[in-house]
Amino acid sequence: MSGRFELRLPDLGEGIAEGTIGEWLIHPGDAVTEDQPLVEVMTDKASVEIPSPVTGRLAEAVAIPGSVVPVGSVLAVLEVESSDQDEQSATPAASPTEVIATPGARRLAAQLGIDLATVGIADGSGSIREDHVRSYADAGGHAPGSEAQPEAALNATGNAAFPDRSVISSRLTRAAAVPTVTNVDEADFGAVYASGLSPLTVLAFVVSRSLSKHPRCNMLAPEGRPIPQDSVHLGVATQTDTGLVVPVIRHAESLGVAELGAAISDVTARARTGHLRPDELVGSTFTVTSAGRMAGQWATPLLNLPEVAILGLYRIAERPVVREGAVVVRSMGNLSITFDHRYLDGMIAAAFLQAVIVQLESWGERS
């Protein structure tokens, strides 16, 4: 028999509490398949496409293009086949003892080892979102309340004239307060260029594989305690017209170099055109950043919290270097590892960076 499914605006990550409805990609009455993009939503950080979690038919497009709606709001009503109930919802009712939370919040809480029952809700929304979990973690395990007020005051006084940067500003302010150290070294990219592969692709592959041997660099550190991660969910910092975003490639350590290269091309292209899914913007465990030819010699990237390290790739150019007593020209590029000194010592970060460099310089020797 037929039932109704309420599609709600999901947790969009990055502490984002609302989104602006863009273009509807289908019309009422159209058939819908599971994972089919339904509507574009624009946030302070990126444009994303909200997919349908069910197969059915669009009964009503509730959200009006141009309107600003909070996370958890009903976007659409879908007609679905249901044998068990007449009404369905993306956020079903819970028993009195059950914690109501979005899937993104549950996933992040599990990653960070946080009991959702201890996370308070200060905005009266009734459902724990990912930004609630992040605020709880950033506050050292305290329910959000007075701890959130300084950020609100900053947005009201410092960022009101620049709404497109408010979320970015608050995140960078938190990241800038972390005591980081940056280690910079150079690598010969001659073998990488000889392979015909993109330096970023090879670097991402090498980093993903190296993190398994240097697991302390692949940690998340909420609540003042580092938590090792079993998998590498690689963030790739990407510049877009609306700002820097970090789409995530999950289980990067399990991908071949060609697969990883295709995944990077896919998510970065969709990030720039606003076609990412919400779940592709959350959950990274380590981030790689590069501005390509615009990158300069080197920089000191800010951490993508709650990660404990970030690796930067900078301009690769021909430089004179000494090899076996002779001056020769090589394709050289600088790499940096910026790390949270509270959880990583310099020797650990340097060992990881050196392992990456060795693999880059011996890339042509891979069997």
- Angle at CA 263, nearest 5°, toward 298 and 110? 90
Q: What is the Cα–Cα distance from 203 to 152, expressed in whole angstroms?
A: 38
CATH 2.60.15.10 for domain 2-89, yes or no, is: no
**Residue 334 confidence (pLDDT):** 95
Cα separation, 99 vs 114, in Å, equals 13
Where b means 16+ CB within 10 Å and e means fewer, 138-160 reads: bbeeebbeeebeebeeebeeebe
What local confidence, expressed as pLDDT, does residue 157 receive? 39
Q: What rounded mean pLDDT belongs to the chain?
A: 81
The label of the residue with tokens 């819908």 reads 32
Look at residues 136, 123, 127, 39 and name the one whose alpha carbon lies nearest to residue 90.
127
* pLDDT (0 to 100) of residue 143: 45
Residues of the chain with pLDDT under 70: 1-2, 13-15, 44-45, 82-108, 110-113, 120-127, 129-131, 134-168, 170, 292-293, 366-367
pTM of the model: 0.67
Torsion sign, CA atoms 115, 118, 121, 126: positive
pLDDT confidence of residue 174: 81
For the chain, how far is it from start to end, CA to CA, in angstroms? Answer: 57
Which residue has 């970060």 as its token pair?
349
With 0-12 / 13-18 / 19 or more C-beta atoms within 10 angstroms meaning exposed / middle / buried, residue 275 is: middle
Q: How far does Cα 355 stand from its chain's mean position?
A: 25
The pLDDT score that the predictor gives to residue 167 is 61
**Domain boundary assignment for the chain:** 2-89, 103-175, 180-365
- The catalytic site residues sit at 341
Using CA of residue 272, residue 274, residue 279, residue 282, what is the dihedral sign? Answer: positive
For residue 253, the 8-state DSSP code is G
pLDDT at 145: 42
Q: How many residues does the chain have?
A: 367
CATH of domain 180-365: 3.30.559.10
